[in-house]
Chains A and B, each alone.
Chain A
Amino acid sequence: MTSLVTAGARSRAFMTPYAFLLPALVVTAAVILFPVLQTAWMSLHDFVLFRPRDVPFIGLGNFERMWNDEVFWISLGHSFLWIALVVGFQFLLGLGAALLLNQSFWWRGLARSLVVVPWALPSVIIGLMWTWMYDFNVGVINDGLIRLGLISEPVAWLARPDTAFYAVIVALIWQGFPFFAVVVLAGLQTIPAELYEAAEIDGASRFQKLVYVTLPSISEVIATALLLRTIWVANSLDVILVMTGGGPGYATHTLPLYAFLKAYSGMEFGYGAALALVLTALLLVVVFVYVRRVAREIGR
């Protein structure tokens, strides 16, 4: 009798953590796991929304179509360029900002708060404010550049195929550099002052201190932040959607945007799902590296 009770108590104790987890697991399964499985199913079918009863299984047909789809390759190329430029410049700008904000001056606290503001804003607002600044007729960017003598007449930044992509990239760099500034700054604050003192005794110049003390000390932080940001930037499509909708032509198409447009405007959910799956598969490598780094922390 007693052993039965303890066995019951023990199995109840064993179940306790799972009971606490249950709500989160159920909701996550419903809103994420199930949809993802459905994406996999849809990608194998010719699923067009306004034809819900006629969903033929076409195997890898969607992927075959992708292989021969010029727009897919254009979008993929843009995605790589997009990630490299956005993440690269966000990082450089964020690193510079963090190094400066780590110095001491009397309004440092205020500066640290204000620099973060772009991070807090909705992408729709970011798209809106930059579209307004890029405006062809009365935009402040054209006005400023003409006053500075850098251009002689207004440029239709978002309507020209050769400038639209880079114009959107500038807006994205602006939105994301505070993230790097904040993360790198937090890393800088963990570097012990003794390291700098020792370097100073050895007669290191300021640049040498940056290269031999600062950067190695925060390399882990930088690597994690770069991985996280690459994933985020690779997935982001809302600012492009608001600013150009992917145009002019296909000039600002990236892979997630193309997948979204296929489903949203084209109603071709099967093909959109296949595009989304390819994007995920490409990203999985980065996600894997990132998750492994973070998972090392979990055990403790």
Chain B
Amino acid sequence: MIERCSRLARILQVEIPVLVIVLFALAPYAWMVITSFKPNEEIAQWPVAYWPSEGTLKHYRDLLARTTFAGNLLNSFIVAVGAVAVGLLVSVPAAYAFSRFRFPGRRWLMVQFLVVNMFPIVLIIIPLFVLMRSLGLLDTFIGVIAGHSTFAIPFSVWMMTSYMNAIPTELDEAAIMDGASRLQTIRLVILPLVMPGIVTTGIYIFVTSWNEYLFAMMLSGQNVRTVTVALQLFIGEFTVQWGLLTAGGTLVAIPVTILFLLVQRRLVSGLTAGAVKS
């Protein structure tokens, strides 16, 4: 009897409120996905039809056949991969230095990487546009990737440093004792151990770059336009074509949702390490 009571209490006090919060978190997303499968007549119907009487893939077909969307998806992918490559290539060595050496200026430099990560985007984006224009890098992949590295680098330096710190220094010392050079130690001991951290950081950079809008809008034109910018332009261009827009939104959102859910737990522990450590 008591057990059933507490079970009921748990449903009322915990499970139903959690369900409400989860529904709140998912409802706008779900509504976008549902709309993307509705025929146009039902999208324009009032009062609103909550569930399509007959699902259709028309909007997806139209989007990929009639617009530049497929190309934009590819552009976003190239930019995101580029941002991951640049971010990791420069931040892994930097994190190694911060984690394994004690040198003058270490603390100060680490703080600077934190501070630049807090700068308002508008502070950087306005001059970066002028800079890229004078270098002739507007509307090129290099230009947009450079824009995205402004947030990718400081962030991954911090993430990677905390992952490296988690590897006991005894392991490096043991390798050195066995006669390994520094580069051998890095290649054979550090990198394999820190690989999960590299993957997590890489995926986070990918997601952030894929999602990014302001740099992409400022620095790209027709040639390297990313999906987020294209979608925003569609909003102006196909004002009332919500089927097309929600289909595009779904195509952009699904991959990052999956990636995010895949690495979520490790990502969260990395992101909150600074905030939670007591």
B-contact 0/1 string along A68-83, CB 8 Å cutoff:
0000000000000000
On chain A, the residues within 8 Å of B35 by CB distance are 132
Question: Is there an interface contact between A27 and B149, defined as CB atoms closer than 8 Å?
Answer: yes
* Contact among A183, A234, A264 for B275, CB-based, below 8 A: A183
Question: Is there an interface contact between A125 and B130, defined as CB atoms closer than 8 Å?
Answer: no
Question: Given A28-B116, A38-B127, A186-B276, do A138 and B228 touch, yes or no (CB 8 Å)?
Answer: no
A-contact 0/1 string along B187-226, CB 8 Å cutoff:
0000000000000000000010011111000100000000
Question: Given A23-B93, A129-B249, A280-B120, do A105 and B14 touch, yes or no (CB 8 Å)?
Answer: yes
- Bin chain B's interface residue count: 35 or more
Question: Is there an interface contact between B120 and A190, defined as CB atoms closer than 8 Å?
Answer: no
B-contact 0/1 string along A41-56, CB 8 Å cutoff:
0100000010000000
Question: Is there an interface contact between A35 and B127, defined as CB atoms closer than 8 Å?
Answer: yes
B226 CB → nearest A CB, Å = 10
Question: Given A14-B103, A20-B94, A38-B131, do A138 and B210 touch, yes or no (CB 8 Å)?
Answer: no
A24 CB → nearest B CB, Å = 4
Question: Given A36-B127, A129-B31, A190-B278, do A121 and B25 touch, yes or no (CB 8 Å)?
Answer: no
B263 CB → nearest A CB, Å = 10
Question: Given A21-B94, A28-B154, do A279 and B123 touch, yes or no (CB 8 Å)?
Answer: yes
Q: Which B133-192 residues have C-beta < 8 A from chain A?
A: 146-147, 149-150, 153-154, 157, 182
Closest to A128 in B: B249
Q: Which B88-137 residues have C-beta < 8 A from chain A?
A: 89-91, 93-94, 96-98, 100-101, 103, 106-107, 109-111, 113-116, 118-131
Question: Given A125-B231, A183-B276, A259-B122, do A143 and B249 touch, yes or no (CB 8 Å)?
Answer: no
On chain A, the residues within 8 Å of B118 by CB distance are 231, 283, 287, 290-291
- Residue A32 at the chain B interface, CB threshold 8 Å: yes
Give the one of A27, A105, A146, A174 with max B CB within 10 A: A27
On chain A, the residues within 8 Å of B260 by CB distance are 116-117, 119-120
Question: Is there an interface contact between A263 and B44, defined as CB atoms closer than 8 Å?
Answer: no
On chain B, the residues within 8 Å of A129 by CB distance are 28-29, 31-32, 246, 249
Question: Is there an interface contact between A298 and B214, defined as CB atoms closer than 8 Å?
Answer: no
Closest to A261 in B: B122
- Residue A137 at the chain B interface, CB threshold 8 Å: yes
Q: Which A75-129 residues have C-beta < 8 A from chain B?
A: 93, 96-97, 100-101, 103, 105, 107, 111, 113-129
Question: Given A114-B22, A124-B228, A132-B35, do A35 and B93 touch, yes or no (CB 8 Å)?
Answer: no
- Residue A131 at the chain B interface, CB threshold 8 Å: yes
On chain A, the residues within 8 Å of B256 by CB distance are 120-122
- Residue B21 at the chain A interface, CB threshold 8 Å: yes
On chain A, the residues within 8 Å of B91 by CB distance are 24
Question: Given A121-B211, A264-B218, do A39 and B123 touch, yes or no (CB 8 Å)?
Answer: yes
Question: Is there an interface contact between B277 and A297, defined as CB atoms closer than 8 Å?
Answer: yes
* Contact among B22, B150, B213, B276 for A123, CB-based, below 8 A: B213
Cα-based distance from A242 to B213 in the complex (angstroms): 10
Q: How many A-B residue pairs have CB under 8 A?
A: 294
Q: Which A134-151 residues have C-beta < 8 A from chain B?
A: 135, 137-140, 143, 146-147
* Contact among B29, B111, B218, B269 for A121, CB-based, below 8 A: B29
Closest to B228 in A: A124
Interface majority SS (helix, strand, loop, mixed), chain A: helix
Question: Is there an interface contact between A122 and B211, defined as CB atoms closer than 8 Å?
Answer: yes
* Contact among A122, A138, A190 for B252, CB-based, below 8 A: A122
Cα-based distance from A81 to B7 in the complex (angstroms): 42
On chain B, the residues within 8 Å of A225 by CB distance are 275
Give the one of A96, A100, A174, A228 with max B CB within 10 A: A100
A224 CB → nearest B CB, Å = 4
Question: Given A129-B28, A224-B274, do A269 and B245 touch, yes or no (CB 8 Å)?
Answer: no
B164 CB → nearest A CB, Å = 11
Question: Given A100-B14, A117-B25, do A125 and B32 touch, yes or no (CB 8 Å)?
Answer: yes
Closest to A217 in B: B278
Closest to B256 in A: A120
A58 CB → nearest B CB, Å = 17
B152 CB → nearest A CB, Å = 10
What 5 A-B pairs come out closest when comparing CB atoms?
A: A122-B211, A120-B260, A17-B101, A24-B94, A38-B127
List 26 A-B residue pairs with CB atoms under 8 Å apart, sorted by A's residue number. A17-B100, A17-B106, A32-B154, A34-B131, A36-B124, A39-B126, A39-B127, A97-B18, A119-B260, A122-B253, A123-B211, A123-B228, A124-B231, A130-B28, A132-B35, A143-B46, A182-B271, A186-B276, A187-B275, A237-B121, A242-B213, A264-B218, A280-B119, A290-B118, A295-B111, A298-B107
8 extra A-B contacts, CB within 8 A, seeds A16-B101, A279-B120, A280-B119: A24-B91, A25-B109, A122-B253, A132-B242, A133-B28, A225-B275, A260-B214, A264-B218
